[in-house]
């Protein structure tokens, strides 16, 4: 049987597990200090932890379950990692540099069942959920990479926007968030973490009720049901009206701003008419709403979609602004590497299949 990743345990879970196995509770804090501050990669490196405890941890857990398969570096400092899991599956993790800090985009599932029509990841159906340890480990591996480079930098922001629908792996997502927010561990502030969903409304209510104060982003991509269903089949089951109600709930309960992700697809959803409809739709959330306009990164698998003309992007932006909606055209990262989400992974899988 494969051993579990130690990163999957919150401090409370590790404390109670160690206590159940005859060790004093303070031992958990010691172990966490070695994991998250001193960042050892082997239990044997925890030099002030007694040998009985080291042996117990070794028998039941592992620190590293991911191995680096491919690393692509962009001229702008973006790094895309393709990690191999213990079962041989591949997942993508991206590190991006911004003026405000260093962010990591994590994956939550192997493949995805949501099947958005523009997405390279959605072509490969979900084969399993990632454990919370496997999600934490993606951040730890990026941090270890920075440590090895001798760059005195730490991961300051996290976006849960990689492959998979995070709310379809809800319990592991919550555990992961608890681990990375904890002051005794990585201590990444909740306000610096964003979870992005395709719009699983029932989970948006549950997520709001956790009162974690983590940011929420919604992949909307269309202002009306007809168009959204065409782009995202999930809209058939959860139409925009249902989604809007859950978004209102999040904003009212948390008093936090919600982010709307809108990928601009040429001649599909980038007309003035759609910008006006979007402005009207979101006005009930304003000013607690913010639209991220994302220029589309074309992928071979979806030749029906092209990138919007720059003029159309600017016109869309202007129309939203005139409607009083906060918005921004997203700055692109890693355009000289496989920039689209899931692109690197799907290329590698195709390559392996062809061999």
Q: Kindly list the catalytic residues.
A: 92, 341
Residues 6+ apart with CB under 8 A from 27: 18, 49, 53
114 interacts with ligand SF4 by CB under 6 A: yes
End-to-end Cα, the chain, rounded Å: 30
Q: How far is the CB of 98 from ligand SF4 (least distance, A)?
A: 21
**Measured between alpha carbons, how far is 189 from 177 in angstroms, rounded to an integer?**
10
For 237, the token pair is: 């089951």
122 interacts with ligand SF4 by CB under 6 A: yes
3 state DSSP class of 315? helix
163 interacts with ligand SF4 by CB under 6 A: yes
Please identify, among the stretches 40-48, 97-105, 110-118, 223-231, the one whose residues bind ligand SF4 according to the rule CB under 6 A.
110-118
198 interacts with ligand SF4 by CB under 6 A: yes
166 interacts with ligand SF4 by CB under 6 A: no
Q: How far is the CB of 166 from ligand SF4 (least distance, A)?
A: 9
116 interacts with ligand SF4 by CB under 6 A: yes
164 interacts with ligand SF4 by CB under 6 A: yes
63 interacts with ligand SF4 by CB under 6 A: no
**Measured between alpha carbons, how far is 103 from 96 in angstroms, rounded to an integer?**
5
Of 49, 91, 112, 201, the residue at the interface with ligand SF4 (CB under 6 A) is 112
Please identify, among the stretches 29-37, 44-52, 113-121, 298-306, the one whose residues bind ligand SF4 according to the rule CB under 6 A.
113-121
Q: Omega into 130 within 30° of 0, i.e. cis?
A: no
Q: How far is the CB of 293 from ligand SF4 (least distance, A)?
A: 16
* Residues 98-114 as b or e (16 or more Cβ within 10 Å = b): eeeebbbbbbbbbbbeb
Closest CA to 6 of 14, 281, 93: 14
Shorter beta-carbon distance to ligand SF4: residue 126 or 288: 126
**Measured between alpha carbons, how far is 68 from 304 in angstroms, rounded to an integer?**
33
239 interacts with ligand SF4 by CB under 6 A: no
185 interacts with ligand SF4 by CB under 6 A: no
Element counts in the chain: helices (H) and strands (E): 12, 14
Instruction: List residues binding ligand SF4 (CB under 6 A).
Output: 112, 114-116, 119, 121-122, 163-165, 198
């Amino acid at each position: 049987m494969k051993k579990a990743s130690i990163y999957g345990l919150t401090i409370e879970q590790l404390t109670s597990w160690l206590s159940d196995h005859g060790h004093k509770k303070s031992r958990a804090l010691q172990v966490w200090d070695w994991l998250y501050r001193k960042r050892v990669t082997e239990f044997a490196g925890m030099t002030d932890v007694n040998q009985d405890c080291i042996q117990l941890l070794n028998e039941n857990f592992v620190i590293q379950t991911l191995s680096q398969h491919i690393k692509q570096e962009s001229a702008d400092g973006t790094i895309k990692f393709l990690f191999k899991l213990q079962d041989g599956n591949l997942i993508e993790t991206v590190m991006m540099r911004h003026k405000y800090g260093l962010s990591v985009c994590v994956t939550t599932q192997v493949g995805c069942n949501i099947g958005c029509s523009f997405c390279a990841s959605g072509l490969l159906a979900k084969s399993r959920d990632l454990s919370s340890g496997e999600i934490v480990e993606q951040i730890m591996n990026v941090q270890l990479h920075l440590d090895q480079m001798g760059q005195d930098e730490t991961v300051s922001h996290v976006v849960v926007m990689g492959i998979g629908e995070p709310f379809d792996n809800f319990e592991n997502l919550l555990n992961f968030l608890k681990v990375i927010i904890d002051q005794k561990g990585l201590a990444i502030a909740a306000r610096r973490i964003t979870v992005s969903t395709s719009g699983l409304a029932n989970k948006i209510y549950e997520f709001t009720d956790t009162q974690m104060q983590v940011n929420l982003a919604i992949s909307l991509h269309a202002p009306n049901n007809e168009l959204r269903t065409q782009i995202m089949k999930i809209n058939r089951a959860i139409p925009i009206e249902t989604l809007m109600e859950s978004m209102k709930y999040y904003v009212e309960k948390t008093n936090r701003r919600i982010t709307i992700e809108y990928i601009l697809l040429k001649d599909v959803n980038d007309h003035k008419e759609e910008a006006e409809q979007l402005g009207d739709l979101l006005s009930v959330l304003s000013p607690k709403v913010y639209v991220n306009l994302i220029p589309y990164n074309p992928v071979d698998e979806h030749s029906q979609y092209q990138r919007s003309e720059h003029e159309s992007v600017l016109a869309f932006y202007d129309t939203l602004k005139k409607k009083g909606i906060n918005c921004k055209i997203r700055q692109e990262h890693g355009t000289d590497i496989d920039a689209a989400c899931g692109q690197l992974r799907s290329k590698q899988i195709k390559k392996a299949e062809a061999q």
